[in-house]
Amino acid sequence: MTVKRRMWNDRSVFILFCMVPVVLFLTITSLVPSVMAISDSLTDWRLTSFGSHDIFVGLSNYRRLLGEDPQFWSAVVRTLVFVVIVVPVELALGMAIALFLAREFKGRRLVLTLLMIPTMIAPVVVAMTWRFMLMPSFGLLTYVLNKFGFFTDASVFSGEISAFAAIMLIDIWEWTPFMMLILLSGLNALPHEPQEAAELDGATRTQIFFHVQLPMLRPLIIIAVLFRTIDASKVFDTIYVLTGGGPGANATESLTLFAQKTIFGTWQLGYGAAVCQVLAFLSIVAAALFYSAVSKSEAR
Domains of the chain, with CATH numbers?
72-299 (1.10.3720.10)
* Cα 27 from Cα 22, distance rounded (Å): 8
pLDDT above 80 for 267 = yes
Instruction: Identify the pLDDT of residue 93.
Output: 97
pLDDT tens sequence across 208-254: 888 889 989 988 898 898 889 889 988 999 999 999 998 877 889 99
User: Which stretch of 34-43, 124-133, 148-157 has the lowest confidence by average pLDDT?
Assistant: 148-157
Cα 35 to the chain's mean position, in Å? 24
- Distant-in-sequence, close-in-space partners of 217: CB < 8 Å, separation ≥ 6: 183, 186, 187, 190
Instruction: Identify the pLDDT of residue 8.
Output: 52
Mean pLDDT of 89-102: 95
* Cα-based angle 92, 93, 99 (whole degrees, multiple of 5): 90
pLDDT tens sequence across 53-74: 678 888 999 999 998 889 999 9
Instruction: Identify the pLDDT of residue 52.
Output: 64
Instruction: Identify the pLDDT of residue 298.
Output: 64
Q: Calculate the dihedral angle through the C-alpha atoms of 264, 272, 238, 172, rounding to the nearest 10 degrees.
A: 180
High-pLDDT (> 70) share of the chain, %: 94
* Cα 249 from Cα 70, distance rounded (Å): 12
- pLDDT grade for 179, boundaries at 50, 70 and 90: very high
Higher-scoring residue by pLDDT: 129, 287:
129
Higher-scoring residue by pLDDT: 297, 237:
237
Mean pLDDT of 197-211: 87
pLDDT above 90 for 143 = no
User: Which stretch of 158-167, 242-251, 281-290 has the lowest confidence by average pLDDT?
Assistant: 281-290
The model's pTM: 0.86
Higher-scoring residue by pLDDT: 266, 3:
266
Name the range with the highest mean pLDDT among 17-31, 240-254, 281-295.
240-254
Long-range contacts of 241-245 (CB under 8 A, 24+ apart): 241/124, 241/127, 241/128, 241/131, 242/127, 242/130, 242/131, 242/157, 242/163, 242/166, 242/167, 242/170, 243/157, 243/163, 243/167
Instruction: Identify the pLDDT of residue 296.
Output: 73
